[in-house]
């Protein structure tokens, strides 16, 4: 069966804000046929993968199959696991995982984060300097230009309002099968025009009405109800249940969602690791 006819599964491996004490930091796994795409790569990656491998009874949730990751920006709650991935790429993997990002994110990842731990390796009694491409296969994205990921999957990114190099995205798995994700961003109503064809939108939320580098709940509640119904909230703080979120929904950590079903844009399949 063609990939554009297969179901796409979304598993939020984390839904928490950077100061959460209940959840993993926000990151996702998308499964389409044989493809496994990860969005962002949090710290304690190996521990998190083991937890889900056991909870979901899926031996494929392992570092050996962690081959493609979209990294939205270089804040540690979204990228610190890449150092672990780099070490595993030389210890247990015969390949270099692909990292999808624009040039600015690749540069920040290496120069400002990864080089401190991955630059030097020992070769006998000598130290050898390594580079980003010794560990990873960087795939360079351009803002506003759709990128063909193969198998009929298209990825488009747009700069958002968080740190200078941060992007939101749209992933398309065939006609009428698009998913939007905000990443970390201040409120940008123009993104919802871009996502008009998306059956579901994963969007961060913050409960401080005055914050500007994240999206206040108050601003999301100003959107039309028909738009709210397509929004699934993530990156939330531990007191999330005390807030009225209108017609929106909370993504649940560890739940398996099926996207683009005939009945609806997103269907809850398996709440094995959800927290209420």
122-172 pLDDT, tens digit each: 777 889 899 999 999 999 999 999 999 999 999 999 999 988 899 999 999
User: Taking Cα atoms as reference points, which of 30, 19, 21 lies closest to residue 67?
Assistant: 30
Share of the chain above pLDDT 70, in %: 93
- Per-residue pLDDT, averaged over 227-247, amounts to 96
- Within the chain, what is the greatest distance between any pair of CA atoms? 65
3-state secondary structure 231-252: EEEECECCCHHHCCCCCCEECC
In this predicted model, what pLDDT tens digit does every residue of 49-102 receive, in sequence order?
A: 999 999 999 999 999 999 999 999 998 999 999 999 999 888 877 789 999 999
* pLDDT computed for residue 95 by the predictor: 83
Q: What is the CATH T-level fold of the domain 7-270, as seen in this structure?
A: Metallo-beta-lactamase; Chain A (3.60.15)
Say whether pTM exceeds 0.75.
yes
């Amino acid at each position: 069966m063609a990939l554009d006819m297969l179901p796409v599964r979304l598993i939020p491996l984390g839904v928490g804000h950077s100061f959460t004490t209940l959840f993993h930091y926000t990151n996702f796994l998308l499964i389409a046929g044989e493809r496994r795409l990860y969005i962002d790569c949090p710290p304690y990656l190996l521990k998190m993968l083991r937890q889900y491998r056991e909870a979901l009874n899926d031996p494929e949730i392992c570092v050996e199959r962690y081959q493609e990751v979209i990294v939205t920006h270089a804040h540690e709650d979204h990228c610190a696991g890449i150092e672990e991935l780099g070490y595993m790429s030389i210890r247990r993997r015969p390949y270099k995982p692909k990292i999808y990002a624009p040039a600015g994110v690749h540069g920040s990842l290496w120069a400002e984060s990864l080089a401190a731990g991955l630059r030097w390796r020992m070769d006998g009694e000598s130290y050898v300097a390594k580079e980003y491409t010794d560990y990873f296969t960087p795939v360079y994205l351009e803002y506003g230009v759709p990128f063909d990921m193969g198998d009929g999957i298209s990825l488009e990114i747009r700069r958002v309002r968080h740190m200078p190099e941060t992007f939101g995205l749209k992933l398309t798995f065939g006609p009428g099968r698009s998913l939007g994700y905000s990443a970390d961003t201040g409120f940008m109503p123009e993104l919802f025009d871009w996502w008009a064809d998306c059956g579901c939108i994963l969007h961060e939320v913050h409960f401080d009405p005055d914050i500007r580098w994240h999206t206040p709940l108050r601003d999301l509640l100003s959107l039309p109800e028909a738009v709210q119904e397509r929004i699934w909230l993530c990156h939330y703080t531990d007191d999330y249940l005390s807030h009225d979120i209108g017609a929106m929904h909370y993504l649940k950590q560890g739940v398996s969602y099926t996207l683009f079903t005939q009945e609806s844009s997103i269907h809850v399949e398996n709440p094995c690791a959800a927290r209420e």
